[in-house]
Chains A and B, each alone.
Chain A
Amino acid sequence: MKILAVDDEPLILRLLETTLKGLGYSENTFAESGAEALKCLNAAPEPFDCILLDIRMPNLSGIDLLKQIRQLPSYRSTPVIMLTALSEKSYIDESFANGATDYLTKPLDATELLARLRVARLLCEANTNQQPSVGALPAREGEKFDFSDAIQIEDVPRVVNSLAMENYLLQLGRLGMFKLGTIGFQIRNANGLYAHEGCDEFREILTDVADCIFEATRAVNPVISYLGSGCFIAIVPRSPNFSSEDLEDLITTHLVNYRTEEGFDAEDEVRVLVGEQINGSLFGSSPLKIIDQALESVQKRHAFVPSRVSTRLMAI
């Protein structure tokens, strides 16, 4: 696996070089700044398989660099692991919202690093081989995917893939999760839409829905993820509590506008059902449990049998 590591501190790079080598990773490139990293990315004869990024760097921060990396066609879904000495939530949020796959706090722990790299390798292989069920696939135009696949929604702000969402929640810890709320969303008759419209059109619908969820919640800097089977979740601050009815109306209004602009008739209307905001608990909360509760809430509010209740996020 070809790895690019970026950190402005030469000692950290030396430590990474030693650690990566000790873990059996030998195809490593190191950059001491964002600018140098961009040069490496552009000059590489073959794309890197994984990128390790320090967050706080002079001139071009790790998060700004990440934004630029995600604009490069070859790196839209490459695993990017953020490295930082800080465990402040704002950095975690910003990292994941801008496309980070995972997050590792310094001091570097070889075992932790190895675990993250193994997941990165799986993602990398899945992206290469287009195998479903590992994290999220980009599923670009013309590519087939299953209804239950948690495909990656692109070009919508603050939307992360399902694996990144799970990593994000895991990194928050108990107190972090306590400060947050989770809202579940389900596209009504998603299975029927998928079967009737096909992959390309269904992907367009998913992108529109993700955009509308973002627009409806953008004031609170949400982190949004598509989990497959027409289900989305959004992580928002615990307070103020969103009203499901208001959110549903807002999303419907946005969707009608979008779909009308795109030339669809009223009969092509797509509806999104919204659950109650589920606030994290200090005890007994886990990422999977919170996500399940949020999706079950959609079911309870609308008294329907969803095509999918339990999340299928990859267990690491």
Chain B
Amino acid sequence: MTMAMTKELYDALKDIRESFLNDLVNQIGQMEEFCKYLDDPDYALPAIVGLQGIVHKISGIAGSVGFPKLGEEAGRLDIAFGEIVQEPYDAASIDAVRGQLESFLYRLEDAFEEKLVPTEDGRF
């Protein structure tokens, strides 16, 4: 048995995708705010914790609503942030992940351009 794509199911999945994109607007804003503190030794680690919380949420849902690459990238950042926060503040380790973070933010913005619809088996 697979999922039969009824109108109801189609609408529900589309609605979840819309909600994901709506949440993304706030999440991008929060992430940009956290990024301002990455150079401050006193606030960089709490900022990374904040960033990790957001990318963790994105990694959990993005792949299910039609953004698998975004989800994978968020998962990689989640793990990278997790490693950073387990150690004392180290500017070099934060710099090492900065490029990845920037490209992720660009990819988040690109997500709004993608117009995908659910397929027959409930995937996007």
Contact = CB atoms under 8 A, between A and B. Distances in A.
The answer to whether A and B interact is yes
Interface of A: 9, 11-12, 14-15, 17-19, 21-24, 54, 56, 84-86, 88, 106-108, 110-111, 114
Interface of B: 1-6, 9, 12-13, 15-16, 19-20, 23, 56-57, 59-65, 68, 71, 74-75, 78-79, 121-123
Nearest to A54: B60
B46 to A, nearest CB: 15
6 contacts: A15-B13, A106-B63, A106-B71, A107-B62, A107-B63, A110-B123
Contacts of A19: 3, 122
A108 B124 CA distance: 12
Nearest to A21: B9
A9 to B, nearest CB: 6
Contacts of A9: 57, 60-61
B51 to A, nearest CB: 15
A72 to B, nearest CB: 27
Nearest to A10: B19
Contacts of B59: 85, 106
A108 B62 CA distance: 10
The 6 A-B pairs of least Cβ separation, nearest first, read A107-B63, A22-B3, A107-B64, A85-B60, A18-B12, A85-B59
A15 B64 contact: yes
A61 to B, nearest CB: 13
A23 B1 contact: yes
Contact of A18 (B9, B60, B63): B9
Given A85-B75, A86-B78, A15 B3 contact: no
A16 to B, nearest CB: 10
B4 A22 contact: yes
B116 to A, nearest CB: 14
Given A15-B64, A85-B78, 13 more contacts: A11-B61, A15-B16, A18-B9, A19-B3, A85-B56, A85-B71, A86-B78, A88-B79, A107-B61, A107-B62, A107-B68, A108-B64, A114-B2
B60 A107 contact: yes
B2 A12 contact: no
B56 A111 contact: no
Given A23-B1, A111-B2, A114-B1, A11 B62 contact: no
A86 B56 CA distance: 9
Residue among B4, B59, B61, B123 facing the most chain A CB atoms (10 A cut-off): B61
Contacts of B12: 14, 17-18
Nearest to B57: A9
Contact of B9 (A22, A56, A86, A114): A22
A69 B65 CA distance: 31
Residue among B65, B74, B122, B123 facing the most chain A CB atoms (10 A cut-off): B122
Residue among A54, A85, A86, A106 facing the most chain B CB atoms (10 A cut-off): A85
Nearest to B15: A14
Residue among A12, A24, A106 facing the most chain B CB atoms (10 A cut-off): A106
Nearest to B58: A85
A24 B63 contact: no
B19 A110 contact: no
B23 A11 contact: yes
B122 A22 contact: yes
Contacts of A85: 56, 59-60, 71, 74-75, 78
Contacts of A114: 1-2
